[in-house]
Amino acid sequence: MKRAIAILLAATALVGAGPGKVDMAARILPAAAVPGAAVKPYVKVAGGKVALVHVRVIDGTGAAAQEDRTVLIDGGRIVAVQAGGDAVPGGYAPIDGTGKSVMPGIVGMHDHQYYIARPNLDAAGHSEPPLMVPQMAFSSPRMYLAAGVTTLRTTGSVEPYTDLNMKAAIDAGTLPGPHMDVTGPYLEGSGSPFLQMHPLRDAEDARRTVAFWAEQGVTSFKAYMNITRAELAAAIDEAHRRGIKLTGHLCSVSYPEAAALGIDNLEHGFWVNTQLDPGKTPDQCSRDNGLATLAAMAPDSAAAKALIGLLVERHVALTSTLPVFEGSSPNYHTLPPRQLALMTPEARTDYFYVRTRVATRRPEAVAPGARLWANELGLERAFVAAGGLLLAGPDPTGGGQVLPGFGDQRAIELLVEAGFSPVEAIRIGTLNGATYLGLAERIGTIAPGKNADLVLVEGDPSRNIADIERVVTVFKDGVGYDPVPLLGSVTGRYGQY
């Protein structure tokens, strides 16, 4: 009888128990695997005991660079950071870092693994429906790793099983690529132009969708433009029950509404907030998609101060995605040849269609874009000054305007254009992302005990942020990868697979 009562009590407790919380560190940063046959051609430093000697250390905290240091790596972890003149312990293979800098691996917080294809796009910008979203499971992870991205969040998936399986293969050492926080399928309402997205029917559908994909192994979620407040509230509640965070590229729901519902993160900085858009109705995307709000929200305005205060109070992080909006900048320039060479001929053609249209805008169309750009830069500075957590990512979405990996570098460079110092911008692109993910004890800075996820570059990004592009070696879990063969393997392929 006592045993039967005990069983009944245990069963009763299970009925009311929620799902277990996700161990993010174990999911996103599992134990390192030995690189397999398909990965070895891209390995420059096999791991083990390595000493980066006489190297400049930019540690990711925002502190000034440390000159002439030696970083000791053993077993995929940073063992010590010592003076460059100190003796290197026995057994360590030295790598001369003279004239070079080492910084933490980039933590890309808006890094898709797909390409948006617009059928029959022409020079006038016309294309035929539907928008298609082919997965770049071969090229994207190699491009990210080659550029120094050692951890990323997919921030919206159209093929979540592909992303999950890609992550599993990378973690097993059978494919090259970064650590991945896999986001579930877009939580989208009705009216999306993307055929590959599931339109939520109601709040219960949103809850079930989050529950299902959490069980499949995703570690974050993203709400999209046409979601309703009820659907968003249900998704946030279910995600939080499981210890998973939820971000959003919103339109139908304004930033203040999303903050009130408990959202963790908002994508695209202040670019897609619709709270001041004329004619905005609840649960409906506005005609202006947030541009009217951004144009009206000067960084020193009362509306901006109130919104920033609310976001900081509610601990809502913002993801800066400046590269995808750089077409509005007066300083926007054509992508360099080394990036253009990675695209398929069709992707390059699409890119130049878009680039030409931007370059040939009438003068009266340039000024509004420049105002949006200036407001965005100022609002991001004001958000950080108020204590907000700013993350960084490029949103590489197709047409070639923003490429995986290179866009992550550009995101950090544009933060310097926004007014942050180079070391502050590097912190936003490394430690801040790790902090949001709950992984700051493992990645994001250079310190003893941390994972040896590092980027060795020529020059000094603490003085000239463009040196962030001069990648020599990318260390992930203490294994050094060579960007040259990684990029060589995808030349002419981005946009195809």
Mean pLDDT of the chain: 94
**Edge-to-edge strand order for the sheet containing 149-153?**
106-108, 149-153, 179-181
Please report the pLDDT score of residue 364 as a whole number. Answer: 86
pLDDT band of residue 215 (cuts 50, 70, 90) is: very high
Residue bearing the bigger pLDDT, 400 or 495: 495
State how beta strands 390-392 and 317-320 pair.
parallel
Q: Is the per-residue pLDDT at 85 higher than 80?
A: yes
pLDDT value at residue 295: 97
316-326 per-position pLDDT tens digit: 999 999 999 99
Residue 456: per-residue pLDDT: 99
- Residue pair 323/411 in contact (Cβ under 8 Å)? The answer is yes
Give residue 22's pLDDT: 86
Mean pLDDT over residues 413-427, rounded? 98
Give φ, ψ of 49 to 5 degrees.
-90, 115
What's the pLDDT score for residue 387?
98
Q: Report the pLDDT averaged over residues 161-190.
A: 98
List pLDDT tens digits, range 192-209.
999 999 999 999 999 999
The pLDDT of residue 117 is 92
Whether the predicted pLDDT of 15 surpasses 50: no
| Span 433-442, average pLDDT | 98
| C-alpha dihedral, 407 to 413 to 416 to 418, nearest 10° | -40
Indicate if the pLDDT at residue 103 is higher than 60: yes
Q: How far is CA 337 from CA 266, 342, 348, 464, in A?
A: 33, 9, 11, 21
pLDDT at 11: 35
- State residue 18's pLDDT score: 59
At 401 the pLDDT is 86
- Average confidence (pLDDT) over 234-244: 98
pLDDT confidence tier of residue 17, bands split at 50, 70 and 90: very low
Report residue 365's pLDDT band, with 50, 70 and 90 as the boundaries. Answer: confident
pLDDT of amino acid 76: 96
| pLDDT given at position 397 | 87
Q: What is the 3-state secondary structure (H, E, C) of the chain?
A: CHHHHHHHHHHHHHHHCCCCCCCHHHHHCCCCCCCCCCCHHHEEECCCCEEEEEEEECCCCCCCCEEEEEEEEECCEEEEEEECCCCCCCCCEEEECCCEEEEECEEECCCCCECCECCCCCCCCCCCCCEECCECCCHHHHHHHHCCEEEEECCCECCHHHHHHHHHHHHCCCCCCCEEECECECEECCCCCECCCCECCCHHHHHHHHHHHHHHCCCEEEECCCCCHHHHHHHHHHHHHCCCEEEECCCCCCHHHHHHHCCCEEECCCCCCCCCCCCCCCCCCCCCCCHHHHHHCCCCCHHHHHHHHHHHHCCCEEEECHHHHHHHCCCCCCCCHHHHCCECHHHHHHHHHHHHHHHCCCHHHHHHHHHHHHHHHHHHHHHHHCCCCEEECCCCCCCCCCCCCHHHHHHHHHHHHCCCCHHHHHHHHCHHHHHHHCCCCCCCCCCCCCECCEEEEECCCCCCHHHHHCEEEEEECCEEECHHHHHHCCCCCECCC
The burial class, CB within 10 Å (0-12 / 13-18 / 19+), for 312 is middle
Chain length of the chain:
497
Q: How far apart are CA 345 and CA 70, in angstroms?
A: 44
Q: Which two tokens stand for residue 78?
A: 């940073």
Average pLDDT over every residue of 411-427 = 98
Residue whose tokens read 């999209």? 224
* Mean pLDDT for the stretch of residues 344-353: 95
Q: How confident is the model at residue 124 (pLDDT cuts 50, 70, 90)?
A: very high
| Residue 239: pLDDT over 70 | yes
Which amino acid is located at 78 in the chain? Answer: I
Q: Is 357 left (phi over 0), alpha (psi -120 to 50) or beta?
A: alpha
